A = this chain, B = another copy of it.
């Protein structure tokens, strides 16, 4: 196991955190199980009350005919694309260059399913209707990720979504939603999850982002689609004898947090403003459209780490445990607002940002 850097250590020792719901620790699972009877029967290889009831509940919530619980989104989404490709008899799909399948899955889609993706748009912007109109070969499926996480969680106009959906329907292209953060975008669009899902043929949602569960995902669509997905789930090795640890915690935190998404969104806007008011710091997007955004800081890494460590030490508020490089003079980190943000004393937040702004100014003037 790796030694912890002084930077990570300073973050770990903070009392408050601006991001997330709290530590990923066993207490999260234990809390979810507290109200569950010891005699609650396990699901068994995808059957049984505990999995079937939750699948039904999520299908209803998403406005889809049927839903299947998966151990991971990686598995669920590869399978969704495979089913649509098989249906159309072509191994071609399209998605954003920073799609999860393209950058975080060790090329599972290509290595296991031999599906060839067309990368739409540039890395640093959203997919627009024109990008799709300009595809000059047939595709079986288009995947949209809402919000587009790797560029700070940006969203297209809702009318763009509608236009893309209509176009795909007309052209016989299946539209799949990477809705890992679907709950989180409903306040900005002012639409329910099922209204948004109506634009898509298939939908994946996650339970350990905004919902803050232990792990797990749902894949939803019409009945023949989800039935096929169960066969592929078994092939992938995801049809576990018992998925209930994930299902029960997903359900518990869904109930606890699904109605807090507006608060997280408002918190994100407020916090982004605090960052943007600081010298040499900007957020992407400037005005968040969900609970998430990226913070970009300009300066050398050692200086930025020194500033953040000072803030962590003196204010007890944790900003981030890492910095990722854009250039050797620009670094960023991701912010996702959860339950913790509202719990940080407002006065302390002000003090921390005042110190951050002061130090960033000094850094810019090279007097740090």
Choice from B231, B234, B241 contacting A208 with Cβ under 8 Å = B241
Within 8 A of B (CB), among A109-144: 111-113
Q: Which of A37, A106, A107, A240 has the most CB atoms of chain B within a 10 A radius of its CB? A: A240
Q: Which of A201-247 contact B (CB under 8 A)?
A: 208, 214-215, 231-232, 234-246
Chain B residue contacts of A74, Cβ below 8 A? 234, 236-237, 239
Binds B, one of A24-32, A162-170, A275-283, A331-339: A24-32
Contact partner, A111, options B70, B108, B235, Cβ 8 Å: B235
B29 touches A245 (CB 8 A): yes
Known pairs A1-B49, A78-B237, A237-B108; A30 contacts B26 (CB<8 A) = no
* Complex Cα–Cα for A249 and B89 (A): 43
Q: Is A349 interfacial (CB 8 A cutoff)?
A: no
Contact of A26 among B42, B44, B75, B214 (CB under 8 A): B42
Cβ–Cβ contact B240 & A71, under 8 A: yes
Could you tell me if B242 and A215 are in contact, using CB atoms closer than 8 angstroms?
yes
A240 to chain B: closest residue by CB: B215
- Is the interface on chain A under 10, 10 to 19, 20 to 34, or 35 or more residues? 35 or more
A325 contacts B by Cβ under 8 Å: no
Once A26-B33, A36-B26, A244-B26 are accepted as A-B contacts, the answer to whether A235 and B1 lie under 8 Å apart by CB is: no
A235 touches B38 (CB 8 A): no
| A185 CB contacts on chain B under 8 angstroms | none
In the assembled complex, how far is the CB of residue A52 from the closest CB belonging to chain B, in whole angstroms? 6
Cβ-defined contact, B52 with A1, below 8 A: yes
Q: Which of B24, B42, B72, B248 is the one whose CB lies under 8 Å from A41?
A: B24
Q: What residues on B are CB-neighbors of A159 within 8 Å?
A: none
With A24-B42, A29-B33, A38-B27: A112-B236 Cβ-Cβ less than 8 Å? yes
* Distance between Cα atoms of A24 and B111 in the complex (Å): 35
- A72 and B24 contacting across the interface, CB-CB below 8 Å: no
| B237/A75 in contact, CB under 8 A | yes
Are the C-beta atoms of B72 and A242 separated by less than 8 Å? no
Kindly identify, within residues 242 to 274 of chain A, every residue whose CB is under 8 Å from any CB belonging to chain B. Answer: 242-246, 248
A residues within 8 Å of B by Cβ? 1, 23-30, 33, 36-42, 44, 47-49, 52, 70-76, 78, 105-108, 111-113, 208, 214-215, 231-232, 234-246, 248
Q: Can you sample 28 A-B contacts with CB below 8 Å?
A: A1-B47, A1-B48, A23-B39, A25-B39, A25-B40, A26-B33, A26-B41, A30-B33, A30-B36, A70-B237, A71-B238, A71-B240, A72-B239, A72-B240, A74-B236, A75-B237, A76-B237, A105-B237, A106-B231, A108-B236, A111-B235, A112-B112, A112-B235, A214-B242, A214-B245, A215-B241, A245-B245, A245-B246
Known: A26-B41, A75-B236, A106-B234. 19 other contacts (CB 8 A): A1-B49, A23-B39, A24-B42, A26-B37, A26-B39, A29-B244, A29-B245, A30-B38, A33-B33, A42-B214, A72-B240, A78-B237, A105-B235, A106-B235, A107-B235, A208-B241, A215-B243, A245-B245, A245-B246
